[in-house]
Structure formats: structure tokens, C-alpha cells
Structure 1
Amino acid sequence: MSRNLLPLEPKPNFAAAVHRMEAFWAGEILDRPAINLTAPLPDREWLPGGHYMEGAREDFAPIIERTAHNVANTYYAAESMPVYVPSFGPDQWAAWMGADLEWSDTDQSTNWVIPFVDDWEAAFPLHFETAGPWWTRMVDFMTQLGRAAEGRFLVSHLDLHSNADALAAIRTPSRLCMDFYDCPRAVDRAMRQVRGLFPLAYEAFYRAAGMDRSGSIGWVPVYHPGRTNTIQCDFLALIGPEVSRRYVMPALEEEASYLDAWTYHLDGPECLVHLDDLLALPDPGVIQWTTGARNAPMIEWMDLLKRIQTSTKGLWIPCSAEELKVYMRELRPERVIYQVGVGSVAEADALLAWMVENT
């Protein structure tokens, strides 16, 4: 096992999984494609509850207790890792910069940011309020999760929404789009400043959660023994390649280069105009294609997935056990990792055996 990593108790094959993930990131195929494969353990019960953004306003202790219980009652086959994914919402980065968040009393699936930039010059320098309530609460949450997780489960790194997503949150997307033409030098300066915050954010939460002990993982769960995360810029859906190449791609290149490996959250067809630039980001990287709710399901985008496979980038594909067999007929086995949940340990073991036989 590389890097003297601390094994995880619910993952008896931890060392073998790390070895396979190192091969995956190197573009090597062993005896089958990589797969995050989970199943419930027999005669065990999961504790119900939990929601996106939990911990933002709730006590941490019940969340941690439920997570520890549930990972101990799950079968983590192949390359799957026991993991908890914390988040205070899609604009938590903006909140760390001082923005206020609004919450719904009935919908726990999202929150909203209140933009605060009316004039860029007055807002500079952009910075994290590290004594502010959202930064300190997230550091505390990650620290407590990390202590409980030691030797038991991973704490994923955060859904950061950095770079232009952060600027759009504090300015509004429509005003930022106009700024590219009305005050481009101010946007250049804003992007330089927000780009400079990425290492601070990454390292603060990496250390708080103790990710150096057993390796790291992003909210799209593609493990690496070193530093990894899911990176993204959903704002790309609103701009073309010319604007992106000036303002956004340099930021994504820096984030990709900072990490040992990365997974890019490619969110919807509107972003496909940028695909060639994304595929040119520094290796090693993985693309998570998200089709969008109104579009055809993932399995009907096979031509796009094959196009991505002609590059040096990998694919993360969530699917059913039956869909997996279709994908394996159509896609190359290297640089692809599947995400599958089945109903029993026997089903998981049988699916793994099938994958070996059919690779």
C-alpha cells in the first residue's frame, strides 16, 4: 500500500482497492474496470434520516453517529469506500467570502445566496472571512467528522463552486455576464483573487478532516491516495469558449494542477461547447457527465462517452447492474469507473465475477 495509509475498518480489501485506484488513475487495466460497488450487509439495519446540507443548522453529533452506524452496516466491494459527504449548499464558498444565505422552511435540497458585490473596486480584495460563521462552522464540522472517521470512513472534500461560480454567486450571473464587456479588467482582477483562494480552501478542509490519513475523495466519489476533489464551473453554461478561455479555463487549469487527480462535474448539454478545452486540462482527470433532468438518460449518450474516451480523461458512470453490462460492451475498460449499488452481498460478488469474465 502506498503512502502508509491508514486502512478503513469497514473495508477489509482497502489495500487492494488503493492499488486498483492507482492503476485506474494511471490508465492501466488489471482484470476488470474499476467500480464503486456497494450492498447492504445481511441482517443489518440502516438508520434513516439525513439530507443535503445537514449540519449547517443541526447538531453534528446525531449526523456523525448515524454515519458511523451506516458505514459499519454496508458491504464496500471492489473500489467503493465508506464516505460521508458534507455540504452547506452550492454557494458555501460565497458564504465564506461574507455572503448571507437564505433557507427554505420546507425544502432541504438547496439554499440561496444573497449577492453583495455592487461595485468590484469597492469589493476588493476578495477574501475568506475565516472568523465568519460559515467558515468556522464548516471547519468545526469537518474537524469533528474527521475525528470520528479515523480508521472507519472517509470525509469527502467539499463541493466548492470556486472560480467563476463564486463570482457569479456574489455578483449574480447576469451582472457577471455583462461585466465581461463593461469592466473586463475588473473581472480579470476578481478572477485572480478568487483563484488565489483555492489552495487556502482546499488545505483548510483537507487538514481539518484528516484526509492525509487514508486518502481523499470528492463528492463525486473517485478515490485517490493523495489530494483529489470534484472541480467544476457550472457558469460555463452561460458563456462561450472565447470568454471562458480568458477567464475560466486558467482557473480550472490551476485547480487541476494543484490536485494529484481530479473529477470534473460537467453539468448539462449547455456546457458541451467547452468539452475540448476541458479534455485538455492537466492529467490525470475524470469527467462526470450530467445529462440534466430534461434530457435523455446517461446510457443514451454513448457517442459522447466514447468521444471522452478518445482523450486521456476517464469517466465516472453511475448505473444499474444491468446497464453496466451494456456500458462494458460499448466502452473501453481502462479509465472508466462505474458506480453501482445492488441488493445483497451475493449480487455484488456475482457482478464482480461477471466483470472479470467479460473484460
Structure 2
Amino acid sequence: MRVDFDRIKERMTALWDHEILDRCCVSVVYEEQAEKEAIDAFPASDEDRMKYWTDPEIVLKRNRRHMEHTYYAGDAFPLVSLNLGPAGHAGFVKNMKWSYEPSTIWFTPFMRDELMPEKILFDRQSFLFQKTLEHARYFCRECRGEYMVSMPDLAGNLDVLAALRGSQELLVDFLTEDEDTIRDCLTRIQGMWEAGLEETYKIVKECDQGGSTIGWLRTWAPGFHGQMQCDISVMFSNDIYERYTRPELEAQSRFLDYPLYHFDGMEQIRHLDTLLSIEELGMIQWTSVVGQPSPLTFMDQLKKIQEKGKGLVLLLKPEEIEPAMQQLSSRGLFILAEAESREEADEIVRVVEKNTRE
């Protein structure tokens, strides 16, 4: 299916400027579940599992099959997800061990005995750093204007440090280690994060029509766009968040042209005021993780995000869209939805058109 990239870019540029062209931004996709499961079937052998994740030809073929069986409505567009695993810059560290499962990557901590910043060395020749750039080049070379290529899933320096150290050990470190030691670790990881995103953006921006996209969120921005997060912060206080996460997010928000924060569930509400005080942060994506209530339950917090001038990305069920839009401004609002038919996808866009408001 062909989409109007030019019009989508206009709407999404307006989204970042908190303006409305003709309606609120909404990305709706429909893909038959049985077809999706068949395409994503994970191979049994270790060798084939590695190829499933890391062979760019196999990855692109799988993405193309998804695109062929996906109906795009509203501001949805075909894209290839450059995904070698979440918090992927953990794999840029020298001597890091990792393995793949069907939907994620597992890292094996190698500093369980002691937190040692000097062991956190950026290995530019590491398999995952080189694969990140290889995938970006291959996907763009094969693009021919048919799709966009996402930025890699590099986010969360503290999440990476937890992968290197062990989550439980890191939580104890916050209480027992010298602050400068932890900051030294995070500074080293930040350098890897910057290199991974900057070098990828140089490759994909032409294919992405001058901008960049976060694949799993289906966002697009007319420049250097990336995701930030601190998922491990659901397990610690706002005092620790202020001490270690705020400096990271401030630096990353300055580094990116269009920074977005992945807000991972209601346990992060205690950090919301910190997030909203970061001037350069442009957008917050609210996630209600498995077992948590609908985002509509947290309408006071969603309104607060908008009142502080931040954009808001919400993944909603079709029946949640109208009540959400009746309470929120359409300025800076981006709605993601998945439909069960083409007809429902088109109807969702009509609902958004009807309910768009200041």
C-alpha cells in the first residue's frame, strides 16, 4: 500500500511544533494476527536464531513480508525496524556476553563482584556496534523510497549499567558506592549511546527524508530524533532519579534535536515532575505495562504533561480514543492504535478527525 509520506511529514512536523494542520496525528495499522505470527516464527537452532536477528537480508525479508500484509491508516507508514535488542549499546562494551530470545536480547553481567568503571570500554569493533551500522547501510541501500528505516533501540544508560552490573547489585550500589564511581560508569556509557545514534542517523536520514523515526512507536521527526528511558527507575526513589537520571536526560535532550522519553508505567509517576522540568525534552510516550490500568486512568498526569508544553504519545485501544481526545488537547498529541480490520482502521481515523480540538 502506498502512503502519502509528504502529508505525514507535514502533520508530524506540526506535531513537534504543537500545531494542528487538519487533525490530530494518529497512526493505525492492521495486520492479520495469524499472518504476523507466521512471519515472526522463531527458529529452533542457535545458528538460525542468530541469523534471524543479525543477518540483514533475513531481517529485511521479514520486514518486507510484514509490510506486504499491513494496512496503514492515518499517519502510519511502512518502516524497517533496526532492532538488535533493547538497551542495545550494552553490546558495545568490550567483553560483553549476550544471547537472543524470540523478542529480546539477554546480557550477562560481568561486574557482579565490583563496580569498575575502567572495565566499561567502548569497543567500536564489537559485533553489535558493527551490525548496527551494517543493518542501517543495507536497509537504506535497498530502500528505493518504499519505507523508512528506524533508529536503533539504544536507550537507558542506567538500564545498560544494570545489564553490566546486575540490577540487584546496582540498586545496592546506589546506597553504598561513591557517587563519582557511578557517574564515571554512566559517562562512559553515554559516549557509546551518542556514537551509536549519531553514526546511524548519518546513514538513515536520507532514506528517512531528512528526518528519523523510532520504529516501535512509529514516530517521525524532521531531524535527529531518538528515544530516552530509565526503566530500572521503577525500582528506586526520585532522589536517586534526580541524582543520576536527570543529568543523563538533560545531556541526551541537548544532544538530540527531537528527544522523546519512554515513560514505562505508573511506577514512574514519582519521577514525572523531574521529567517535566527538563526544558529540552520534547515529548513523553506513556506506557501502561501489562497488568496496569488504561492510560485514561491517569488523565490528571496526562493533562499535566500537556500543560507543561510536552508532546504526548499514547497507545490506545479503539474504544479509548474518543474519551481520551475529549479530555486532552490535540496539540502535540500522537495516538497509536492497532485495528482488527481495514474498516476499523479507517473508522479510527474518522473518530480522530471528528474529535480533534484545541
Please indicate, yes or no, whether the TM-score normalized by the shorter chain is above 0.5: yes
> Structure 1 stretches of 5 or more lacking a match?
1-8
Please state whether the residue corresponding to 2:73 is helix, strand or coil. strand
Superposition TM-score, scaled by structure 1 size: 0.85
Aligned to 1:262, which of 259, 263, 287?
A: 259
1:229 aligns with 2:220: no
> Structure 2 stretches of 5 or more lacking a match?
none
Please state whether the residue corresponding to 1:168 is helix, strand or coil. helix
Report the equivalent of 2:78: 82
Percent identity at matched positions?
Answer: 28
Report the equivalent of 1:10: 2
Matching of residues 308-323 of structure 1 within 5 Å:
308-323=305-320
Report the equivalent of 1:174: 168
Q: What amino acid sits opposite 2:130 in the alignment?
A: T
Q: How far does the alpha carbon of each residue in 1:254-313 deviate from its partner, in whole angstroms, 9 at most, with x for none?
A: 112211212211112222111111112234522122222222123333232222222211
Contact 2:321 2:352 in 1 (8 A): no
> For the structure 1 residues 52 and 167, does the alpha-carbon distance in structure 2 shift closer, same or farther, using more than 3 Å as the test?
farther
Please state whether the residue corresponding to 1:329 is helix, strand or coil. helix
Q: 20-29 or 256-265: which moved more?
A: 256-265
> For the structure 1 residues 52 and 336, does the alpha-carbon distance in structure 2 shift closer, same or farther, using more than 3 Å as the test?
farther
Contact 1:320 1:341 in 2 (8 A): yes
Between the two proteins, the alignment pairs up a number of residues equal to 343
Q: How far does the alpha carbon of each residue in 1:196-223 deviate from its partner, in whole angstroms, 9 at most, with x for none?
A: 3322111222234455642211132221
Matching of residues 286-297 of structure 1 within 5 Å:
286-297=283-294
Please state whether the residue corresponding to 2:212 is helix, strand or coil. coil
Contact 1:10 1:71 in 2 (8 A): no
> For the structure 1 residues 358 and 298, does the alpha-carbon distance in structure 2 shift closer, same or farther, using more than 3 Å as the test?
closer
1:324 offset after TM fit, Å? 1.2
Report the equivalent of 1:206: 201
Q: 290-299 or 216-225: which moved more?
A: 290-299
Q: 334-343 or 345-354: which moved more?
A: 345-354
Contact 1:260 1:284 in 2 (8 A): no
CA–CA separation in structure 2 for the residues paired with 1:200 and 1:211: 18
1:35 aligns with 2:26: yes
1:71 offset after TM fit, Å? 2.3
> For the structure 1 residues 81 and 239, does the alpha-carbon distance in structure 2 shift closer, same or farther, using more than 3 Å as the test?
same
Report the equivalent of 1:185: 180
1:26 offset after TM fit, Å? 0.6
Report the equivalent of 1:164: 158
Please state whether the residue corresponding to 1:196 is helix, strand or coil. helix
Please state whether the residue corresponding to 2:27 is helix, strand or coil. strand
Please state whether the residue corresponding to 2:103 is helix, strand or coil. coil
Contact 1:232 1:265 in 2 (8 A): yes
> For the structure 1 residues 164 and 40, does the alpha-carbon distance in structure 2 shift closer, same or farther, using more than 3 Å as the test?
closer
Please state whether the residue corresponding to 2:220 is helix, strand or coil. coil
CA–CA separation in structure 1 for the residues paired with 2:230 and 2:114: 23
Q: 318-327 or 222-231: which moved more?
A: 318-327
1:148 aligns with 2:148: no
Superposition TM-score, scaled by structure 2 size: 0.85
Q: Which runs of 4+ in 1 moved over 6 A?
A: 51-55
CA–CA separation in structure 2 for the residues paired with 1:280 and 1:32: 28
Q: 207-216 or 332-341: which moved more?
A: 207-216
Q: Which has the higher helix share?
A: 2
Report the equivalent of 2:40: 50
1:66 aligns with 2:62: yes
> For the structure 1 residues 55 and 102, does the alpha-carbon distance in structure 2 shift closer, same or farther, using more than 3 Å as the test?
closer
CA–CA separation in structure 2 for the residues paired with 1:338 and 1:168: 31
1:226 offset after TM fit, Å? 0.9
Q: How far does the alpha carbon of each residue in 1:70-111 deviate from its partner, in whole angstroms, 9 at most, with x for none?
A: 4245443332221122323234321211310134xxx51333
1:139 aligns with 2:149: no
Matching of residues 63-142 of structure 1 within 5 Å:
63-98=59-94, 99-103=96-100, 108-117=102-111, 118-121=113-116, 123-124=117-118, 126-142=120-136
CA–CA separation in structure 1 for the residues paired with 2:97 and 2:197: 22
Q: What amino acid sits opposite 1:33 in the alignment?
A: C
1:327 offset after TM fit, Å? 1.2
Please state whether the residue corresponding to 1:265 is helix, strand or coil. strand
1:153 offset after TM fit, Å? 0.9
Please state whether the residue corresponding to 1:186 is helix, strand or coil. helix
Contact 1:257 1:282 in 2 (8 A): no
Report the equivalent of 1:220: 217
